[in-house]
Amino acid sequence: MADQVMAQLGLVVRLNKTYDEALTAVIAALKTEGFGVLTEIDVKDTLKKKLDVDFRPYKILGACNPPLAYRALSAAPEAGLLLPCNVTVAYVEDNVTEVAIVDPLSMLGIINHPDLEPVAQEARARLDRVAAALKGYN
């Protein structure tokens, strides 16, 4: 069931890298495709501070490609609720890190606006290339 949900939400890549190496590789691959990281949520740190619980290293990156964001917001301002594109980087075990990348096309089910489809398709193509680049780092 979890794999089906992930298939609907996005792409998953497992890297044979340390968590820090994977995080660096993800940010570099996003940059190559025109995405900057606007937000970085350190889930492990936040859960420790707020709940005093231990959690594995896990970050949520809010990735944005400004030209695509502008096109989406111009077509449908409510698209801002879906921005930025989230990418998670999660420790699995030593030298294994999982990267999950949201599928912008899956977000079209939330906002039904025909002018958003080409933007989502372009974002998806760019994020597919990010995933392919990460697979090449293994």
The answer to whether 3 and 96 have CB atoms below 8 angstroms apart is no
Instruction: For residues 1 and 66, give the distance between their C-alpha atoms in angstroms, rounded to a whole number.
Output: 34
pLDDT, tens digit, 9 for 90 and up, residues 7-56: 578 999 999 999 999 999 999 999 999 999 999 999 999 999 999 999 99
Q: What pTM did the predictor assign?
A: 0.90
d(CA 68, CA 124): 11
Structure tokens at 104: 């912008």
Q: Which two tokens stand for residue 17?
A: 């890298």
